[in-house]
């Protein structure tokens, strides 16, 4: 997990050095016509930080999530509550995936608190699982999860997995035996894939967007 954070940081430096754009905060907020946007029409345009960040505090090590929390995915469950899944690392190794509930004060409460919901397992293609995308299928009455999985590293043998569970809490998952997608050796995304993100289109088509890197860096679609 730490190596992945470093890789993303280095990539951001590389992309930044190749750009002629002014990336200062003042420039980023200089949207044409922003001053003319009515307050009630600013949804998705103007953002303010909510006091109390980060939403989930780090425990002292050793602990299964003491090295950090990344890549949250929030979804509303069948009973209407907000659940969040996230990648984490700690004394169990990592990455693993934890789960929590979003409380009335918008803080994240670990549930379960003592262990991740997606743990490590040796001698399988998806020993590590991270960067999840979760969807509640009302027709099938089950959760579906997509994730990045690998045994060695996300640079060497990555693949996307898919799991289903009828556990309404989204805690109990059966590990998928095979990946649903792996990059081709000579593919544009051969060096790195991560962050599968699911959405159902208006026509009912299922789409999985993701980040890929190889011959270029970009967004892929399955």
How confident is the model over 77-94, as pLDDT tens digits? 999 999 999 999 999 999
Model confidence over 7-42: pLDDT tens digits?
A: 543 444 344 444 444 433 443 445 555 666 666 666
Question: For the chain, which residues make up each domain, given as ranges?
Answer: 55-221
Report the pLDDT value the prediction gives residue 15, as an integer from 0 to 100.
40
Q: How far apart are CA 78 and CA 90, in angstroms?
A: 31
Give CATH superfamily name and number for 55-221. Glycosyl hydrolase domain; family 43 (2.115.10.20)
Q: Is the pLDDT of residue 6 over 80?
A: no
Closest CA to 126 of 71, 176, 198: 176
Report the pLDDT value the prediction gives residue 33, as an integer from 0 to 100.
59
Report the pLDDT value the prediction gives residue 203, as an integer from 0 to 100.
93
Higher pLDDT, 201 or 11: 201
Model confidence over 96-117: pLDDT tens digits?
A: 999 999 998 899 999 999 999 9
Per the prediction, the chain carries an average pLDDT of 87
Place of tokens 């999530």: 65
Structure tokens at 21: 């754009």
Least confident of 67-71, 124-128, 200-204: 200-204
Report the pLDDT value the prediction gives residue 126, as an integer from 0 to 100.
98
Higher pLDDT, 2 or 157: 157
Q: How far apart are CA 135 and CA 212, in angstroms?
A: 22
Report the pLDDT value the prediction gives residue 36, as an integer from 0 to 100.
67
Q: Which value, in Å, is the radius of gyration of the alpha carbons in the chain?
A: 19
Residues forming a β-bridge with 150:
128
Place of tokens 């190794």: 93
Average pLDDT over residues 200-209: 94
Q: Is the pTM of this model over 0.85?
A: no
DSSP state of 41: G
């Amino acid at each position: 997990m730490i190596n992945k954070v470093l890789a993303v940081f280095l990539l951001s430096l590389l992309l930044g050095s190749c750009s002629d754009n002014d990336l200062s905060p003042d420039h980023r907020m200089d949207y044409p016509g922003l001053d003319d946007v009515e307050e009630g029409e600013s949804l998705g345009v103007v953002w303010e930080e909510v006091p109390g960040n980060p939403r989930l505090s780090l425990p002292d090590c050793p602990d299964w999530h003491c090295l950090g929390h990344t890549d949250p995915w929030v979804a509303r469950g069948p009973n209407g509550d907000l659940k969040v899944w996230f990648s984490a690392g700690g004394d169990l190794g990592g990455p693993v995936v934890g789960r929590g509930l979003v409380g009335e004060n918008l803080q994240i409460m670990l549930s379960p608190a003592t262990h991740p919901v997606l743990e490590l397992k040796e001698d399988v293609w998806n020993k590590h699982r991270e960067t999840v995308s979760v969807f509640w299928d009302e027709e099938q009455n089950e959760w579906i999860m997509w994730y990045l999985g690998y045994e060695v590293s996300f640079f060497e043998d990555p693949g996307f997995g898919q799991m289903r569970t009828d556990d309404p809490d989204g805690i109990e998952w059966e590990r998928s035996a095979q990946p649903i997608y792996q990059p081709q050796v000579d593919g544009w995304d051969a060096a790195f894939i991560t962050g599968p993100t699911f959405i159902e289109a208006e026509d009912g088509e299922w789409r999985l967007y993701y980040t890929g890197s190889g011959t270029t860096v970009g967004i892929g679609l399955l």
